Amino acid sequence: MSLATINTVVESVIDRVERAEFLDGPADKVAGLVNKWLKPGPIKDVLSGTGTGHPAHPIIVLLPLGSWASAFYLDVAAPNSDGTAARRLINLGNLTAVPTVLTGLSEWADTQGAERRVGLVHAALNLTAIALFTGSSIARSGNARRTGVVTAALGMAAVSASGWLGGHLAYARGVGTDTTAFEVPPADWTDVAGEDEVSDKPIGVDAGGVAVLLIRANGEIRALSDRCTHRGGPLHEGTIEDGCVVCPWHGSRFQLTDGQVARGPATRPQRTFEVRTVNGRIEIRPSDDPGSLRSEPVTGADARR
- pLDDT reported for residue 232: 93
**Over pLDDT 70: what percentage of the chain?**
94
State the average pLDDT over residues 32-44. Answer: 93
State the pTM of this model: 0.87
Claim to verify: residue 33 and residue 151 sit in the same structural domain: yes
Say if residue 118 is in the same domain as residue 253: no
- Judged by DSSP in three states, 201 sits in coil
pLDDT digit string (tens) for 68-100? 999 999 999 988 888 899 999 999 999 999 999
Domain assignment present for residue 180? The answer is no
CA-based nearest residue to 223, from 202, 241, 238: 202
Identify whether residues 13 and 144 lie together within a single domain: yes
153 and 197, same domain (yes or no): no
- Residue 301 above 80 pLDDT? no
CATH no. for residue 219? 2.102.10.10
Number of domains comprising the chain: 2
225 strand-pairing partners? 212
Q: Are 167 and 80 within one domain?
A: yes
Report the pLDDT averaged over residues 156-173: 95
The verdict on residue 178 lying in a domain is no
Contact 27, 105 (CB under 8 A): no
Q: Is residue 23 part of a domain?
A: yes
Is there a cis peptide before residue 265, judged by omega within 30 degrees of 0?
yes
Give residue 292's identity as a one-letter amino acid code.
S
| Domain final position from 146, 172, 198 | 172
Q: Taking Cα atoms as reference points, which of 18, 36, 37, 103 lies closest to residue 64?
A: 103
If asked whether residues 9 and 62 sit together in one domain, one would say yes
- Whether 131 and 55 map to the same domain: the answer is yes
| Segments forming the whole domain that contains residue 199 | 190-299
For residue 177, is it within any domain?
no
Do 160 and 196 lie in one domain? The reply is: no
- Output the CA torsion sign for 116, 120, 121, 125: positive
Instruction: Tell me which of 8-17, 134-143, 201-210, 281-290 is least confident.
Output: 281-290
Same domain for 149 and 16? yes
pLDDT-derived band of residue 292, with 50, 70 and 90 as boundaries?
low
Given a contact cutoff of 8 angstroms between Cβ atoms, the answer to whether 198 and 148 are in contact is: no
Q: Are 117 and 36 in contact (CB under 8 A)?
A: no
**288 in any annotated domain:** yes
Same domain, 241 and 163: no
Do 271 and 242 sit in the same domain of this protein? yes
